[in-house]
Structure 1
Amino acid sequence: MMAVPVDAIYLKGPTDPGCFSQDYDERVLPSITTEILNLVVAHFDAGELITQRELVSRQFTEAVEAKQVAQQEAKRARFVVEKTEQQKKAAIISAVGDSKAAELIANSLAKAGDGLIELQKLEAAEDIAYQLSRSRNITYLSAGQSMLLQLSQ
């Protein structure tokens, strides 16, 4: 077994994750550095580490970048899952609200009669008449024609 001392020199840039707090270099970097160093060094013997220093350095850099990309993809996947869960919860809440609204309307109609439906028919007829009055095309409606989906009076 061979001990390889490593000094990680890094510069925190604008793309670095800011969610790791101020001690990012003390908490995260040592574990990542050790893991990546072990992966890269495992491909070389002790003599090659010295003679092929440039190759080892390049592979180490590529491994660090690949690790960062993998972490970002994992965060993105977690975000997508959380977003989907929130949308699911919102759909459930909306469905429960729609159900309660329909129940309240049904109860109100049972108690008060069909006055609400008649009011909505009148409002819809008024809206249709307004839209037709603004149209440049001349439209004639016969008196017997029901505009509201053949609803009975």
Structure 2
Amino acid sequence: MAQKFRDAFQKMAQNIPKGGAGGGGEPGRGAGAAKAASRAAGSLIVAGGLGYGAYNSIFTVEGGHRAVIFNRIVGMKPQVYNEGLNFNIPWFERPIVYDIRTRPVNLQTLTGSKDLQMVTIGVRVLHKPDQNNLVWIYRHLGMNYDERILPSLMNECAKAVVARYNANELLTKREEVSAAISAELSARCSGFHVLLEDVAITHLAFSPEYAKAVEAKQVAQQDAERAKYVVLGAIQEKKTIITKARGEAESAELIGNAVKRNPGFMKLRRIDAAKDIADTVAGSGNKVYLNADSLLLNLLGDADDKFEKSVHGQSRGWLGK
């Protein structure tokens, strides 16, 4: 094409006369120069038209894209053009290129749950056009098909699904809610030849009043659990005290019976107590000056005899009664 432009300019330069048409020049020579100039201009126009046609008769479809062609005579052609170099008729046909790669769209809406709690839910959808129906999409929706249909469909499907669940179920059954929204939205988008690859709940928030109520409920449950453990602790402490008192009473009763049957039992107890006290005093670095009777160390005196006499006297009194 560049060579054709150069040839046309060379022919025009060769045919243009070096001298002017006036003065002493011949009249026929001026007419011939004008005719040559018109031929050169015509050649230049033809070369420009050929260059324009060659440049506009091809178009390239990039990776991840598809193209459809609008014809000025027949309208939209049914063929979908794949990636690579493709041909069309200049001026009569115009290519429209679609991006068929997956794209995200986000929506956040305020809706009500089954128990009439206001919920703010955010949904992210990964979508792409059906490459086999690009002609229909361009004819009915245009290039910005996702902006035309997805916001309204996502809003409607999210509201319809959330209304089936209670507020607490939206948290405990989040995966189930997401699957339900995906199924509803896929069914609606299929009628517009839009394919969905993933639907996910990205945000889920309740009203401040409901959040405070849930927090208060949790605090009350924790207080109730704490009170239950306090009651259990008190019951166990009561059982411990009762068991200890019963043990002391039984121990006192056993000791009393042992003393009644054998007064020498007290001597053994006095000897054990004296041994313990003696060990404690001997291990101490201080000097101790105390009454031996108060420390139960007077084991050689008549304390045991007095005790035995008192025990025998009491036993006779009980027998007399």
TM range (shorter): 0.5 to 0.7
- Name the Cα RMSD after superposition: 3.0
Q: Residue 230 of structure 2: SS of its match in structure 1?
A: helix
Instruction: Say whether residues 1:148 and 2:293 are aligned partners.
Output: no
User: Does residue 116 in structure 1 map to residue 265 in structure 2?
Assistant: yes
Report the residue type matching 2:287 in the other structure: I
Map of 2:171 onto structure 1: 10
Note if 1:85 corresponds to 2:235.
Answer: yes
Q: Distance in 1 between matches of 2:258 and 2:232?
A: 39
Q: How many residues are aligned here?
A: 106
Structure 1 or 2: more strand by fraction: 2
1:44-59 residue pairs with structure 2 within 5 A? 57-59=207-209
1:141 deviation in Å? 5.7
- Measured at CA, do residues 3 and 101 of structure 1 come closer, stay the same or move farther in structure 2, by a change above 3 Å? closer
- Structure 1: 5+ residue stretches without partners: 12-53
Task: Give the Cα separation in 2 of the matches to 1:123 and 1:131.
Answer: 13
Rounded Cα–Cα distance in structure 2 between residues aligned with 1:95 and 1:129: 30
Q: How far does residue 123 in structure 1 lie from its aligned partner after superposition?
A: 1.9
* Cα distance in 2, alignment partners of residues 3 and 80 from structure 1: 35
User: Is it true that 1:76 corresponds to 2:237 in the alignment?
Assistant: no
Which structure has more relative contact order (CA 8 Å, sep 6+)? It is 1
Question: Could you tell me which amino acid in structure 2 is paired with residue 127 of structure 1?
Answer: D
Match of 1:60 among 210, 229, 252: 210
SS of residue matched to 2:227: helix
Where does the alignment leave 5 or more consecutive residues of structure 2 unmatched? 1-113, 117-162, 173-204, 305-321
TM-score, normalised with respect to structure 1: 0.57
SS at match of 1:137: coil
- Is 1:135 matched up with 2:135? no
Q: Deviations over 1:66-117 (max 9, x none)?
A: 100101101111111121112112211221222122111111111122x221
Which residue type is aligned with residue 74 of structure 1?
Answer: A
Q: 2:254 aligns with which of 104, 111, 129?
A: 104
- Give 1:3 deviation, angstroms: 6.4
Once the two structures are aligned, what percentage of the paired residues are identical? 38
Deviation of 1:140 (Å)? 4.8
Q: TM-score, normalised by structure 2?
A: 0.29
